[in-house]
Structure 1
Amino acid sequence: ISAYVNLMKQGIMMEKPLQQWRSYDGRSDLDISEEMAFKDEKLKELVYNNASERTIRHTMKKIGAQRAIDTWITNYGKGTLKFFPTDVATVIDIVPADIVVNAMLCIISYHPQGTADFIYQIGSSMSNPIKLGQMSQTTYKYFSQIPFVGAKGDVVKVKQPNFLATMASFYETMDKHYKMPLQDMLRRGLSTTEDRHIYNHLKREYDFTVAVAEVYWPFTISKTRFDDLKMQNLMGMVTERDRELIPCNIKFINWDKYFMETHIPGVMDYESRELTRARL
């Protein structure tokens, strides 16, 4: 969670406790209760409407998915996200869920007894860094080889990711490619069904791209890295047998292979199932 509540700090974030309601810099407000309240309210709404257990699980899972980096991957692959504000030199923290679980098991088993206030950070930015530029090129490679196929059988051919270094340049690009053409269409009038279809399509794409960019841009230009020395030292205590049973060392992940063979296929499989479910 710390990676998502310390966006304004630059440099190395050490393994130390966060105070409740305060961010790492000690100045910014940090009200995690807002996120919890949103989740609780959605759950109450589902229960009140007599939603099935399956629907509840599906909806809550979808809420979590909407807060992950996978939004960029899926919509880039589907051809609906053409521009994005990103510093390609930004190092991001990515940790597969199974690694997180395994690391927690290792901490439970090997953490020194009687040691209090000991914080472990599970991250990749120090031990096995990957830059957004590398991740985006791997994503482009994947969709070039395995393109997304739409509901009507149309194959989406992706182009190289078009990244803008600042939000100002992003807004300028969006104005040129979307906002101004949309305004021109309104001035000319939407006299045919085809005109209205094109306008609505561009408007949805514009609104979606701007909304996603405004949520994610702090992460895509982040200059923060998360120290994991304590976690690395702990893993040095793990026996060889346990390392095989519960592997949790982020150092050994080949990111290109992970994205090509595991992460993106899994994300797109989930997206395809969601589209199929929506059509039923």
Structure 2
Amino acid sequence: MELECILRFFENKTILIIGATGFLAKVFMEKILRVQPNVKRIYLLLRASDNEFATQRFCHEVIGLDLFNVLRKSLGANLESYVFERVTPISGDICDVNLGIKDSILREEMWNEIDIVLNSAATTNFDERYDVALGINTFGALHVLSFAKKCIKLKVLLHVSTAYVCGEKGGYILESPIYKGDRLKGTSRLDINVEKELVEEYLDRLRVQGATNEEITSTMKDFGTKRTVDGVIAAYGKGKLKCFLGHPKTIMDVIPADMVVNSMIMAMVAHANKSSQIIFHVGSSMRNPMKLSSLSDLSSLYFTQNPWIDRNGKSIKVSKMIVFSNIDMFQAYMAIRYKLPLKVLWLANLVLFQYYREIYINLNRKVKVVMRLVDLYKPYVFFTGCFDDSNTEKLRVTIRENDVDMHLFNFDPKCIDWGDYIMNTHIPGLIKYSMKR
């Protein structure tokens, strides 16, 4: 697997990227356009009313980003022509059969041409409606698989997901597939079609009862949540969060996006034209773990040295975040800070875990925000698992043994200095691109 071999793999290939405006998809596309200018065609599936609007979304949400500055610097005014000679944005929807591509001629062309399918489409809201999440993350993946099976030249299908789809498992988590119908909890089988019918029946019942759109959205959010870490960092930096719940020794399995993309590229090359299904954990918990306490300390140090400036030009001073390792200590602190009886906080906890909304409405606003975050992040900040990455390590060994350019395709977490990365890359990037004043 020499460098020439890796780059040649993408030469004259046609790639379908689903979830094209997503973070990893954009990084992947930029990498391919930068290292292999002779890629034949990249189809980008975007949610849009038609192909013209899909192209507009692509120009606005993708090509204009700082991500393309390296290409922009080398190509200058020729960037757009270079990109559009190789990239075709198309309108579609992963929630629909045939990915929502209505043009039958275009579909046939794609089925005859596509060599590689990359699915990185997913809802990224950490507090998503269950029906929306089911449509995108579950049935969407099924539609991608069905579409890929019709691609007669297909060499590899790569599906990207967070490792935390494993649920709340503890201990050593192997790179083992979860098969259709398997449950993360319990022993009964899961039928996604039955699940979809239940959701539709529940939505119909809400509509018959006269529920407003806001009430339907709120209720459906209660069915499922998705975790990230950056919401906590942002809330802390803005002075809205002074304490949180979580075990300081919890390992935060994080990894830079460019390393994920490099591993995706290597996995495609190594496993093209193979019928076997293989899982790769691309993370840091095995090779270079970072604890929750370290992230808390680094966030505190950063915002102490670089205070957030609000929309009124005021500098926000932060104190060291207090991290409580159990719910009783957290509730006692909240009771003292906001002068609320423990009974009310206990009820607030029930609100967030059992959704007694009539009590929740009467709570202090700041308490509601903090308790909501606690509910969303609890499985994450008390996570006790460690992700095995044996398959991923085999890819890294292959790179080292074949003298591949490590600068171009590195994805070894051992080389990461977490202090430097969090202080000089992650939080500055979060501030620049995600935190609004």
Alignment of 1:141 with 2:301, yes or no, is yes
Matched positions, count: 230
Distance in 2 (CA, whole Å) between partners of 1:158 and 1:28 is 48
Distance in 1 (CA, whole Å) between partners of 2:263 and 2:172 is 21
Alignment of 1:211 with 2:372, yes or no, is yes
Instruction: Tell me how large the CA RMSD over aligned residues is.
Output: 3.2
Distance in 1 (CA, whole Å) between partners of 2:189 and 2:418 is 34
Q: CA deviation at 1:4?
A: 2.5
Distance in 1 (CA, whole Å) between partners of 2:188 and 2:171 is 17
TM-score computed with the length of structure 2 as normaliser: 0.48
One of 402, 413, 416 as aligned partner of 1:253:
416
Rg larger in 1 or in 2? 2
The farther-off stretch of 84-93 and 17-26 is 17-26
Percent identity of equivalent pairs: 34
- On the 8 A contact 1:6/1:25 being kept in 2, the answer is no
Aligned to 2:172: 12
1:157-168 superposed matches below 5 A: 157-168=317-328
The farther-off stretch of 166-175 and 149-158 is 166-175
Q: CA deviation at 1:94?
A: 0.2
Unaligned 5+ segments in structure 2 are 1-160, 200-225, 344-362
Q: CA deviation at 1:67?
A: 4.8
Q: Deviations over 1:159-189 (max 9, x none)?
A: 11101111232223222212528x9xxxxxx
**Which residue type is aligned with residue 218 of structure 1?**
P
Aligned to 1:97: 257
- On the 8 A contact 2:247/2:292 being kept in 1, the answer is yes
- On the 8 A contact 1:7/1:222 being kept in 2, the answer is no
- On the 8 A contact 1:122/1:231 being kept in 2, the answer is yes
Aligned to 1:244: 407
Alignment of 1:122 with 2:285, yes or no, is no
One of 63, 72, 82 as aligned partner of 2:242:
82
Distance 1:108 1:127, change over 3 A: same
1:1-280 superposed matches below 5 A: 1=161, 3-24=163-184, 27=187, 67-111=227-271, 114=274, 116-178=276-338, 180=340, 203-238=364-399, 239-272=402-435, 274-275=436-437
TM-score computed with the length of structure 1 as normaliser: 0.72
- On the 8 A contact 2:281/2:389 being kept in 1, the answer is yes
Q: Deviations over 1:104-130 (max 9, x none)?
A: 001111237636122211111001111
Distance 1:271 1:203, change over 3 A: farther
- On the 8 A contact 2:248/2:291 being kept in 1, the answer is yes
SS of corresponding position for 2:379: helix
Distance in 2 (CA, whole Å) between partners of 1:32 and 1:13 is 24
Q: CA deviation at 1:244?
A: 2.2
Distance in 1 (CA, whole Å) between partners of 2:181 and 2:269 is 30
The farther-off stretch of 112-121 and 139-148 is 112-121
Distance in 1 (CA, whole Å) between partners of 2:408 and 2:280 is 20
Q: Deviations over 1:197-240 (max 9, x none)?
A: xxxxx933211111011110111111101000110111111133
Unaligned 5+ segments in structure 1 are 38-65, 184-201, 276-280
- On the 8 A contact 2:163/2:281 being kept in 1, the answer is no
Aligned to 1:61: none
